[in-house]
Each structure stands twice: as C-alpha cells, then as structure tokens.
Amino acid sequence: MPVIVDLARNLSSPLSRLLLQILVILVVARVCGLLVRRFGQPQVIGEILAGILLGPSLLQLLAPDVHGFLFPQGSAEQLYFLSQIGILLFMFIVGLELDTTELRSRVGSLLIVSGVSVVVPFVMGLVLALLLFEGYGPPDKGVLGFALFMGIAMSITAFPVLVRIIQEHRLMQTPLAAMAITCAAMNDVAGWCLLAVVVGLAQSGSAIGAAWTIGFAGVYVFIMLFAVRPFLHARFDGASKPVQQSSGLLAFAFIALLISAWTTEMIGIHALFGAFLMGVAMPQNADFRRRLVGGVHDVTTVILLPLFFAFTGLRTQIGLLDDAASWLACALVLLVAIMGKFGGTTLAARFTGQGWRGSLALGALMNTRGLIELIVLNLGYDLGILGPKIFTMMVVMALVTTMMAGPILNLLKPLGSVGGADGTRTRDPRRDRPVF
C-alpha cells in the first residue's frame, strides 16, 4: 500500500532515525540511571551502561536486526556531533560555577596533588605496558608508543564524569569540588599534551607537531586568563545596573563559548577545554552567571549529556575478553590503575595537609576515568596503538574506577569532615551538610 511505503520511507529518513535514536537512548538511560542509583551509583554510570546495552555488547548480539535498524552503519555520526554540543555546554557551566577565589590559597597543594596524580600513574602505566607488550602490544608500532600511550591512559581523569559525580552528591560549592575539578582539569590538559606527542610520533614519527600543539595551548591559556578574563570582568562586573537576561546576553555567551571551543579543538587539546576556559573567564557577577547557567542547564543535563555518555557505550564490546588469561591481565590493569591514581592522589593530598577523609575523597574522585578515558582509548585503537583486547581491558578499568567513586564518597560523608587537615567537621553555611 502507498501509505505503508510512505511511512517506511519517512521512518528511514535521517531526521526520523536521529529522533528515534535520541528517544530510545533517553528512555534506556533514564531507566538504567534509576536502577544504578539504588546501588549508590551516579546517574552518569547508568547513562554509560545504557550505551553498552544498546551497542554491540548486548543488543547487537541478542537482536542484530533491531540494532541494525536503530543504529545502521554511518548513522552514529550525527548522534556523536549532537552529543559533543552537550558536553561543550556542560563544561561551560562547570567553568562558570568554579570558585577560583577558593583556589588562590591552595596553589601549592594543587600543583603537588595534580602533579603526583599524573606522574605516579603514568610511570606505573609505563611499567605495566612493558609487562603486557608481548601478549597484547602492537608489534608493528613498537613498544615505545604502546608504553607512552598506556602511561597516558592510566594518568587520565574523566573531567566531565567527575563533575557529574560531584553535582549528584551536592558538593559543587565545596572546597573538595574546587580542588578536584581544578586538579582534573590540569591532569587532562597535561594528558592531552602528552597525547599529542604520542599521536605525532605515531602518525609522522616526529614530535615537532606535538611541540607546536603544546606551545599554542600554553599561549591560549595565558591569553584567556590574563587578557580575555580581565576584559570581561571590567565590562560586566563594574556594571551599575543588574545584568539583564536577554537574547543578546545568551548570544554573546554562546558565541564566546564556540570561539574558545573551536580554538582549542584546532590547537589539538579538545574543544571541551576551550568551553571550560571560557566559563572560567566569564565575569564574577553573580547575576550574570546565574542567568547564564539557568539558560542552558536543564536542556544540557536532561537531554544532551545522556547522549554524550550513552554514545561511548555504543562503541564498547565487552565480549572480546573471552579467556582466563585476558581477565587476569584485565585485573592487573585495574590494580595498577587504582594504585597509581587513587593511591598516588590520596598520599599527595595527605602530604599537603589534607585530612585523611579529604585525601581519600579526592583520591576517589581523581580515580574516575569514565568518558575522557574512553575518548583517549578510541583514539589509540584507531591509530593501531591498542589492540582489541587491551582496548577492552582499559574500557573495563575505566568503568570500574568510575563506579568506585560514589560508594567511597557515601562511606566518607557520614564520618565527618573530609576537608580540614585536623580532621574536624566543616559545614557549608548555606546547607546543613558536610563540606569536604
């Protein structure tokens, strides 16, 4: 019948399929999110698991025709770019809400904690790579690229996932949140710079291109913090009348966000850091920031972010680990990851004067690998640095370390302070809850 033919054609149109993908992902992500919250996990874990359930790890195995209809070859590209818009908006909000005044008295602690939380897992990743290279490394790429990449993958912290966990535990305005977010940002910028070196070596056999990336990144951060930020503060913080929410204000913010994100993407350190930097550079005017956050928060966290996290799960194949030796290697990868990141960060924070609870909480947050790790792993897989099995092991490690953060925070919060060096409880004057 002509009507049925028309309906079938309309159902197969790119827009119709994209809307159906969004609908299915949001429903499954919501259900998974509600389920994992019963076990003390943040919503974001459910969103990543939703992508795994809908991808080749489950749906493609159980119902290949359904999977082929929902996610035909090449259709995921539109979903990917839509999810990227969500993460850019989210990181912009994170930058807006970051209280930089709290960090000025902690510069020394930040440098020590962020440095140790990169160097220790990086070195342990190098050693691990030497142990695993014979069985899982790419012989055509050589041990150097494999070892450097494993070191980078071990030292990464999942910036957006960490922030989601902090938000869902209602810790966003605490000293712990400020320190964790800033350390994670510093970690990931360092990670992207190191990654640029490895990619440059893998693609051209030369680090010249990577050196340019690092240099441009440093110049851009300097310009944003010492030129753009003062200009915007002078323009808006000194205004004699309240900032009015208008289409002009939102347009200005979005244009600035896109310019910054585009610049860092062109430099080679990922667009999300440009979005975050622009949020940090925005004026301190409370009304200005509150209105900007109110304009983008709901649609970003409810619709766009679940697409971002679920898309990662769609590319994951757990079934590649099909023998005991692979699972033992996976356990070793997980052990090294936890010892390097969680252990290294905790000891570094304790060394700088944090209480044990605060140090453990910071270690748990920095130990989250999540999405940023998966982005890095996919890049390594595409370059041929990681083989299919070691890629899957690293994905499992990223999910497990991310799932550890929620239960550890839940254990620590009722026990008192995790912020002061003396172990005393500190409270947020705006809310009757512990401040880490």
- Specify whether the CB–CB gap between 346 and 113 falls below 8 A: no
Provide the pLDDT for residue 8. 66
**What are 427's strand-pairing partners?**
434
Residue with the larger pLDDT of the pair 343 and 288: 343
**Over the stretch 116-139, which tens digit does the pLDDT of each residue have?**
888 999 999 999 999 999 888 887
Does the structure show a pLDDT above 60 at 114?
A: yes
Task: Find which of 145-149, 333-337, 352-356 is predicted with most confidence, using mean pLDDT.
Answer: 333-337
Does the structure show a pLDDT above 70 at 361?
A: yes
What does R_g of the chain's alpha carbons equal in angstroms?
22
Q: Is 370 left (phi over 0), alpha (psi -120 to 50) or beta?
A: left
Backbone angles phi, psi at 427, to 5 degrees: -125, 145
Number of H helices, E strands in the chain: 21, 0
Does the structure show a pLDDT above 90 at 259?
A: yes
How far is residue 254 from each of residues 143, 229, 278, 292, 341, measured CA to CA in Å? 44, 16, 10, 10, 35
Provide the pLDDT for residue 428. 41
Q: Output the average pLDDT for the chain.
A: 79
Cβ within 8 Å of residue 88, ≥6 positions away: 257, 258, 261, 271, 272, 275
Does the structure show a pLDDT above 70 at 200?
A: no
Provide the pLDDT for residue 206. 58
Determine the average pLDDT of the residues in 94-119: 73
The pTM score is: 0.71
Task: pLDDT band for 421, please (50, 70, 90 cuts).
Answer: very low
DSSP-derived 3-state class of residue 176? helix
Residue 40: is it exposed, middle or buried by C-beta count within 10 angstroms (0-12/13-18/19+)?
middle
Distance CA 43, CA 310 (A): 11
Determine the average pLDDT of the residues in 186-201: 73
Question: What share of the chain has pLDDT > 90, as a percent?
Answer: 15
Question: What share of the chain has pLDDT > 70, as a percent?
Answer: 83
Most distant pair of Cα atoms in the chain: their distance? 77
Q: For residue 88, which of 283, 253, 289 has the smallest C-alpha distance?
A: 253
Does the structure show a pLDDT above 90 at 109?
A: no
Determine the average pLDDT of the residues in 64-91: 82
Distance CA 279, CA 285 (A): 12
Does the structure show a pLDDT above 50 at 281?
A: yes
Of the listed ranges 304-308, 372-376, 392-396, the least confidently predicted one is 372-376
Reduced DSSP (H G I as helix, E B as strand, rest coil) percent helix, strand, coil of the chain, to 5: 80, 0, 20
Domains and CATH numbers, the chain: 2-76 (no CATH), 77-415 (1.20.1530.20)
How far is residue 268 from each of residues 22, 197, 277, measured CA to CA in Å? 29, 11, 15
Distance CA 43, CA 33 (A): 5
Task: pLDDT band for 41, please (50, 70, 90 cuts).
Answer: confident
